[in-house]
Structure 1
């Protein structure tokens, strides 16, 4: 929710906000923005509007100001304030701080979602693979076990609403030995293709299995998971020799203490519908990873 004058919203400031926070998320088959952005004028910023979880307040003033505050009007809530003397000053702050603002809002939503998951975890469910690998994850009880070998865990949530009801959200957890640390990022696709061939068959297992889509190069970013160096990879998966496909989100964590890579991956199969929300849920689960 962006609180800004309508004249600013329709001008250069609004354009900068849409450019900064309306960027498309990588790795999705349909174009979807990283954040959904809406505007309200300051005089229309009512008590109902003040209940929004993420708020960006733009104003003009004598002093330049950028600040982030929590739980001003509601809880949980993140409010970012941007103030400068004129349009150019406001735009300058937005350009310099856009990554920080975006990450602040997304991290707040991750924490909010994880808090919800904490109330949905069935403490009676034990996963052999997590126990063997010394891992813990916040896994909502709607996810059911597809495979749990002790070395490889596959969980699935069948989507039940609307047009997506034939689809599913999936979580994979496994580990591989740590080799040359400088080659980890370059090996992510090869590792997930190896796992797909071994554990994730298609309708004809002898000729079909999950692979990384060959026509689309995944995007890999630096990340931190459980305080450890990691890589976040977003791309598309497909089933070799079949027509199933969708987006995936892979976190490869360098666990030096145990000389291994711990991998938590989420992938979605939901034909014909937007998938940002499904991937976000999988991201929140993956980022709850703790290595014992």
Structure 2
């Protein structure tokens, strides 16, 4: 009888533990896009360690007309590694400890989630860990935020056949966007937001249209010609052009398994006061011997623009080039 009772209690404990573990794993992470929870005591947060973290993770986003941080950092005391804080999609835990350590945990308290643990005996050690690992942390956080945004957008999307038939691409565009203009090699989509609007442009041009010796000059020329053709203000003499006050930021990336140019800058309506940020991708699509161009831009004069532009970037980065059928 005692053995039976002991076995029953043991099975109950095992069942309860498994159920508890499953409950923890099934918790959905929460948080606004591009927001990071930082678990750190006040002394470290208000000193050199906090300054270093802010200088790196809250550095200004490139290509925006006003200064906005890369990520919004929310600090919590180190005793708060429990409750709602552990539901955050991204957690950074920094503390002084005898052991020097940098660890990355996935889905520790909720899912999807990334938790960074940094520990060291001295302030100099923590500063060294931040200096060494912050670039990778930024890439990991941004990748997770893009995936979170894409998951939200994926709940209801526009008919993908339109993009496939016209451009031979797959693209997940939320159904909150509407078609403004369609031409044989061009599409303009727009979504109204509280303070203005956000737009997506899709078009393709010849493969040799971007000069290797001056890619940013070629991209500006390309953008301005498209603006002159299709994106205009109230009057015909108000086309959208690239602001000429400074050159857009340019970098090479991989997109849709192809080499691509990513450029970020500011647009304006010529002879008008409207302006805003843009992000442009030129994909070297050798499958169809062309340059496939996807661009996002917004007009939101009264509000911050970081998260609006990030949503456009997340949409564009769902792009995939459709393989040719019966290709020899």
Whether the TM-score (by the shorter chain) exceeds 0.5 is: yes
d(CA) in 2 for partners of 1:69, 1:151? 45
| Matches for 1:193-208 after TM superposition, within 5 Å | 193-205=224-236, 207-208=237-238
3-state SS in 2 of match to 1:257: coil
Deviations along 1:87-128, one digit per CA (max 9) or x if unpaired, are 1111111112222111111110100111111112144x653x
Which residue does 2:90 correspond to in 1? 54
Q: Tell me, in whole angstroms, the C-alpha distance in 2 between the residues paired with 1:69 and 1:251.
A: 32
Structure 1 stretch displaced more, 179-188 or 50-59: 179-188
Report the alpha carbon displacement of residue 217 of structure 1 after superposing the two structures with TM: 1.9
Tell me what 2:173 maps to: 139
- How far residue 272 of structure 1 moved from its aligned partner, in angstroms, is 1.8
Matched, 1:227 2:261: no
- Residue 37 of structure 1 corresponds to which residue in structure 2? 73
> Which is worse superposed, 16-25 or 255-264?
255-264
Q: Find the aligned partners of 1:181 and 1:209 in 2 and give their Cα distance.
A: 24
Q: Which residue of 2 aligns with 1:157?
A: 191
- In the alignment, what sits opposite 1:16? 52
Partner of 2:204: 175
Q: Give, in whole Å, the separation in 1 of the partners of 2:106 and 2:258.
A: 27
What 5-or-longer segments of structure 2 have no aligned partner? 1-36, 323-328
Per-residue deviation at 1:182? 2.6
Give the whole-Å Cα distance in 2 for the aligned partners of 1:61 and 1:147. 59
SS in 1 for 2:228: helix
In the TM superposition, structure 1's runs of 4+ consecutive aligned residues that sit over 6 Å from their partners are: none
CA distance in 2, matches of 1:18, 1:291: 38
CA RMSD after TM alignment = 1.6
Which residue in the other structure is 1:275 paired with?
305
CA contact (8 A) 2:238 2:269 kept: yes
> TM-score under structure 2 normalisation?
0.83
Matches of 2:165 and 2:129, distance apart in 1? 47
Shift, 1:4, TM fit: 1.2
Given that 1:130 and 1:150 are in contact with CA atoms closer than 8 Å, whether structure 2 keeps it comes out as no
Q: How many residues align?
A: 284
SS of 1:235's equivalent in the other structure is: strand
1:184 & 1:134 partners in 2: Cα distance? 28
CA distance in 1, matches of 2:303, 2:50: 28
The structural deviation recorded for 1:82 is: 1.6
Once the 2 structures are TM-superposed, how far is the Cα of residue 181 of structure 1 from its aligned partner?
Answer: 6.5
CA 1:27–1:47: 2 relative to 1, 3 Å: same
C-alpha contact 2:248 2:265 (8 A) present in aligned 1: yes
Q: String of CA shifts for 1:202-233, please: whole Å, max 9, x gaps.
A: 2112x121100111321112222112211211
2:128 aligned with 1:98: no
Moved more, 181-190 or 212-221: 181-190
TM-fit CA distance, 1:145: 0.1
Distance 1:242 1:181 in 2: 30
